[in-house]
Amino acid sequence: MSPQRLPARPGEVIDRRRPLSFTWNGRALSGFAGDTIVSALAASGCRVFSRSMKYHRPRGILTADYWDPNTLVQVGDEPNVRGGHRLLEAHMAASAQNAWPSLRWDAKTLTALGGRALSAGFYYKTFMRPRWLWPTYEKVLARFAPGGVIDPESAPRRHDKRYAHPDVVVAGGGPAGLAAAAAAGQAGAAVMLVEHEHAVGGHLRWDGASGRAAASELAEAARAAGVEILTDATVAGRWEDNWLAIVERAAGGGPERLIKARAKVLVVAAGLIERPYVFAGNDRPGVMLSQGARRLANLWAVRPGSRAVVFSANAAGDAAAADLEAAGVAVEHVDARTGRTVTAAEGRRNALERVVLSDGSRLEADLLVTAAGWTAPTSLLNMAGVRPCYDPTAARFFPAEPGVSEAGAVLSTGGISGDGTLEAHVSHGEATGRLAAARAATLAHRLRVATAWAAPVNGPEPPLVPDERTPLGRHRHPALFCSSTDGMVDFSEDVSSRDLRNAAAEGFDSVELVKRWTTATMGSAQGKLETVNTVAVLAEATGSTISEVGTTTWRPPFAPVTLGALAGRPFEPVRVSSLHDLHVAAGMAPISAGQWIRPEHYGEPQAEVRNVRANVGIIDVSPLGKLDIQGPDATDLLSLLYLNKWRRLAVGSVRYGVMCAEDGVILDDGVTGRLGEDHYLMSTTSSGAGAVEVWIQNWLQTEHPDWRVRVTPVTDAFTSINVAGPRSRTLLERLTDDVDLSPEAFKYMQVRRGTVAGVASCVMWRIGFTGELSYELHVPAGHGPHVWSALLAAGGDLGVAPFGLEAQRVMRLEKGHFIVGQDTDALTKAPTAGLEWLIKLDKEDFCGLPELRWALDGEPGGAPEALQRLVAVQPTDPAYVPPEACQIVAAGPGGTERIIGRITSSRYSPTLERSICLAQVEADHPGAGTQLTVVDVSGRRHRATVMADHAHFDPEGGRLRG
């Protein structure tokens, strides 16, 4: 490696006063601030940057920019860093990827020896026999996985996201993009300009003094027009209604940031990407595209070689030749426009030594620069529905006429749209910017008119300005894709033109099939360098034209985006009741139940159960869904939602209800209390609260908009506390004076409103999920902590203690209450859960009525179907608690076993001192006393008995009615 840094050059972007030391494969090197990793390495004389994926061939610089497929490197713990783009930093530890044991001598090059057989897709054709050896083959193949190394243990970093609503987003900060942004800004639009490179100016930056002057003038105009300029940023994708993903990369590989922008108008000014030329040896280090050579020489003052052949089909190639000569390189100019062409790049080992031309001449050279043509990166336009169309005269794809889509909300300008002088591009850019601003004004007007909360608009809608831009021209360009020899088409994927032709012959003759068979265009640049050559080779192979073959679909993102940026800061809402801090202080074991954090227990759930059964306990049930229902038609609504009847429910009473969906499947359950003639408080399950509210609104708004009823979610308005246990009345009596709690005055399944611990407007209902005498208090949430503390303070002598979710689960199972979603599933209809008593088929209507009618009465012309049945089950061994979801089996045909059900809930009951379960079993096995076989997760069979009643404990309900 001999140094290749040139003396100071005008326009160089390096700061020679700020040298930076770094390492490359462990070796200490240095560069300057402003260098990219690749330019610093090239300046140090490095020629080989990676090994190719399949054949492990040495690879050098191709484009010296973000899209360079050969210069992906590992930097510290970051894989696949674009060495041609990432700026050098002090103490950076960079290393090559895909090289083992070293870049200079790569053991896997051996595959090249067998390369004869390693055509694209070879792996589909071998390694099939013997079958048992395939896993071993697979491990060997896996060693060839390309890419860098990720450390899954590396510390996560915080990425910010933001939303933006610009009038105009300009993708691309070259001359046309800058001009468009400035013109749009001058016309009053809020403009964001997004430039992929580290500075705006596009190719002007490496295009001599006049180019640089023009770039800074254009940039200054954009800044003066108030344009928000983002550099080292990419518009990664465009979706419906100009929803854009803009990714801002950060210096030093810092956290990227995602901006989600709703742009009124998108201007695509992404410029052109230079296309490699396909010929034998075109992937040899030393073969470079003209833009790569010019960037190296002009931006970073690096001499890309000492003796160059410049194969040029256009002005950019001619300029490269001039630049190289100015940099002291001996240049042989091969003008493609005269019909001369390159057929091979030859040399030994890693070096280029000779260039072979079509006329048979051989030119000594260590650098071959090709300028064979351009590819328009139309990706963003394609995402907007604009198709690329091939123009054989210009030998490249263009966006379909007229480069406008979706009511003019997407425009294009610059090289992607056509050719011309700098003045022509700037003038087209300005016209595009003015058009974009005018269109944005129209769309902004429409948005404001339509948006309920926007400021009123008085004037008429600004007319949708027609596109009267003078189109850019299209220059004639030789159609150069593939020479007479075969070469590399996809450098990332090691796919050659011969691979593509063979694939076509094998029947993979459309562009999508050939892409999948060979993996061409699927590498790091996602086809930006490779697609058009792939299409051209395929067209030739199949005897069709490039237009007929067409291109593959460009998929987002335009440039790869880190998962960190996409994820941003995770928003995971947490809901807590007003008692949360008290629970924490009391040492709760928390559990996540949906978004809620709840106390699972406070130490010993079994003791909590015993305390409720013996004394009194209090539990925070605030997450229970609660809906305030008011209006003259409230009763009709309840009748529609629930299976049972509500007309005769007295004011001051509560009733249990079950809701089914229209297919008869159980949706939710809960109790609802009648607070007044037209006023109910409905409770739902905690997990179903949101869905039930939407379900009700759907019925009200779409089926019964005439009903006079208002439904308001009030879950969070109340802290809900269940006071349960034989001593609950005594406890509550100490804190209540305006409600008569005597069993005669306040019966089971009644509701009262009163004052608890000095807090007025509490709703109290006497219900018993735990099976004990209990009162559910709904206290205005702000007063929740006060009431909770008062209950604990007032009941010390009664043994009051808080209990958690687990104790409640045990007690509800002792009582045989099912839980929707656990003991029922997505097919459980009401009769399965034993709810026939609740289903009132004589009601005019309720949700699920027809299905439940047929389930109970039988379908017209059919019998009632055999359903599963929910039953209480007790294992014969009282100490054995079958894990929930264990299967229940019965003898099947031929000595086999057949699944007939499953355990849906199971616990050890401290009250009964035995295991208890709920289970779903086939309807012909549910009789009391039936012996069942439960299969444990270990495979052991356990006997269990079906019980007569769902309730294992106190089936008569004497305790809760007491």
Q: Which residues from 309-348 bind another protein, rule CB under 8 A? A: none
Tell me which of 90, 105, 134, 747 binds another protein, using CB under 8 A. Answer: 134
CA 779 – CA 192 distance, rounded (Å): 52
Interface segment toward another protein; rule CB under 8 A; list 9-17, 172-180, 413-421, 780-788:
780-788
Q: Select 129 or 348, whichever has its Cβ closest to another protein.
A: 129
Tell me which of 318, 335, 628, 922 binds another protein, using CB under 8 A. Answer: 628
Q: Select 285 or 901, whichever has its Cβ closest to another protein.
A: 901
- Enumerate residues 378-417 that contact another protein by CB under 8 A: 383, 385, 405-407, 409
Torsion from C-alpha of 274, 275, 280, 285, nearest 10 degrees: 30
Tell me which of 8, 450, 585, 879 binds another protein, using CB under 8 A. Answer: 450
Q: How far is CA 152 from CA 77, 149, 232, 570, 617, in A?
A: 10, 9, 26, 19, 47
What is the closest distance, in whole angstroms, from the C-beta atom of residue 432 to another protein in the complex? 17
What is the closest distance, in whole angstroms, from the C-beta atom of residue 300 to another protein in the complex? 24
What is the closest distance, in whole angstroms, from the C-beta atom of residue 824 to another protein in the complex? 10
What is the closest distance, in whole angstroms, from the C-beta atom of residue 411 to another protein in the complex? 14
DSSP 936: P
What is the closest distance, in whole angstroms, from the C-beta atom of residue 943 to another protein in the complex? 17
Q: Which of 182, 392, 206 is nearest to 292 (CA)?
A: 206
- Enumerate residues 807-846 that contact another protein by CB under 8 A: 821-822, 825-827, 844-845
What is the closest distance, in whole angstroms, from the C-beta atom of residue 733 to another protein in the complex? 19
When computed from its CA atoms, the radius of gyration of the chain, rounded to whole angstroms, is: 38
Q: Select 479 or 576, whichever has its Cβ closest to another protein.
A: 576
What is the closest distance, in whole angstroms, from the C-beta atom of residue 384 to another protein in the complex? 8
622 binds another protein (CB under 8 A): yes
CA–CA–CA angle 755, 757, 758 (5° rounding): 60
Interface segment toward another protein; rule CB under 8 A; list 13-21, 104-112, 326-334, 783-791:
783-791
Q: Select 575 or 961, whichever has its Cβ closest to another protein.
A: 575
Task: Give the up-direction half-sphere exposure of residue 698: CA atoms within 13 A in the CB hemisphere.
Answer: 10
The length of the chain, given as a count of residues:
962
DSSP 837: G
Tell me which of 45, 652, 726, 780 binds another protein, using CB under 8 A. Answer: 780
Q: How far is CA 190 from CA 165, 169, 405, 433, 626, in A?
A: 9, 9, 21, 11, 46
Q: Which residues neighbour 33 within 8 Å (Cβ) at sequence distance 6 or greater?
A: 14, 15, 18, 19, 20, 88
107 binds another protein (CB under 8 A): no
Tell me which of 216, 306, 545, 755 binds another protein, using CB under 8 A. Answer: 755
Tell me which of 239, 349, 876, 877 binds another protein, using CB under 8 A. Answer: 239
Interface segment toward another protein; rule CB under 8 A; list 43-51, 323-331, 358-366, 625-633:
625-633
666 binds another protein (CB under 8 A): no
Size of the site for another protein (CB under 8 A): 196
Q: Select 347 or 556, whichever has its Cβ closest to another protein.
A: 556
165 binds another protein (CB under 8 A): yes
What is the closest distance, in whole angstroms, from the C-beta atom of residue 33 to another protein in the complex? 18
- Enumerate residues 856-915 that contact another protein by CB under 8 A: 859-860, 865, 883-887, 889, 897, 899, 902
Q: Cβ distance 168 to 181 under 8 Å?
A: yes
Q: Select 99 or 480, whichever has its Cβ closest to another protein.
A: 99
Contacts with another protein, 673-712, as mask; x by CB under 8 A: ---------------------x--xx--xxx----x-x-x
- Beta strands at 710-713 and 718-724: parallel, antiparallel or unpaired: unpaired
Element containing residue 637 per DSSP (H, E): helix 634-641
- Beta strands at 589-593 and 596-601: parallel, antiparallel or unpaired: antiparallel
Q: Which of 306, 262, 270, 327 is nearest to 7 (CA)?
A: 327
What is the closest distance, in whole angstroms, from the C-beta atom of residue 305 to another protein in the complex? 30
- Enumerate residues 487-516 that contact another protein by CB under 8 A: 498, 501-502, 505-508, 510, 512-513, 516
What is the closest distance, in whole angstroms, from the C-beta atom of residue 718 to another protein in the complex? 7
What is the closest distance, in whole angstroms, from the C-beta atom of residue 130 to another protein in the complex? 9
- Enumerate residues 209-228 that contact another protein by CB under 8 A: 223, 226-228
What is the closest distance, in whole angstroms, from the C-beta atom of residue 866 to another protein in the complex? 10
- Beta strands at 354-357 and 679-684: parallel, antiparallel or unpaired: unpaired
Q: Which of 506, 511, 424 is nearest to 470 (CA)?
A: 424
- Enumerate residues 44-103 that contact another protein by CB under 8 A: 77-80
Tell me which of 26, 124, 463, 863 binds another protein, using CB under 8 A. Answer: 124
Q: Cβ distance 734 to 794 under 8 Å?
A: yes
What is the closest distance, in whole angstroms, from the C-beta atom of residue 493 to another protein in the complex? 9
Q: Cβ distance 64 to 292 under 8 Å?
A: yes
- Enumerate residues 419-448 that contact another protein by CB under 8 A: 437, 440-441, 443-448
Strand partners, 626: 683
Q: Select 333 or 528, whichever has its Cβ closest to another protein.
A: 528
CA–CA–CA angle 310, 315, 318 (5° rounding): 30
DSSP 950: S
Phi, psi of 613 (to 5 degrees): -65, -30
What is the closest distance, in whole angstroms, from the C-beta atom of residue 467 to another protein in the complex? 14
Q: How far is CA 810 from CA 141, 507, 591, in A?
A: 54, 65, 16
Interface segment toward another protein; rule CB under 8 A; list 143-151, 391-399, 530-538, 763-771:
143-151
| Peptide bond before residue 58 is cis, with ω within 30 degrees of 0 | no
Q: How far is CA 731 from CA 455, 652, 775, in A?
A: 57, 22, 11
Q: Select 703 or 797, whichever has its Cβ closest to another protein.
A: 703
What is the closest distance, in whole angstroms, from the C-beta atom of residue 958 to another protein in the complex? 32
Tell me which of 3, 471, 758, 927 binds another protein, using CB under 8 A. Answer: 758
Phi, psi of 626 (to 5 degrees): -135, 130
Q: Is 690 exposed, middle or buried (0-12, 13-18, 19+ CB in 10 A)?
A: middle
Neighbouring CB atoms inside 10 A of 946's CB total 20
Neighbouring CB atoms inside 10 A of 614's CB total 14
Q: Cβ distance 494 to 55 under 8 Å?
A: yes
- Enumerate residues 568-597 that contact another protein by CB under 8 A: 568-578, 580-581, 591-592, 595-596
Tell me which of 23, 95, 545, 630 binds another protein, using CB under 8 A. Answer: 630
CA 27 – CA 2 distance, rounded (Å): 14
Element containing residue 503 per DSSP (H, E): helix 497-505
Q: Select 892 or 962, whichever has its Cβ closest to another protein.
A: 892
- Enumerate residues 454-483 that contact another protein by CB under 8 A: 454-459, 462
Q: Select 355 or 807, whichever has its Cβ closest to another protein.
A: 807
CA 682 – CA 625 distance, rounded (Å): 8
Q: Cβ distance 377 to 271 under 8 Å?
A: yes
Q: Cβ distance 51 to 59 under 8 Å?
A: yes
Q: Select 405 or 413, whichever has its Cβ closest to another protein.
A: 405
747 binds another protein (CB under 8 A): no
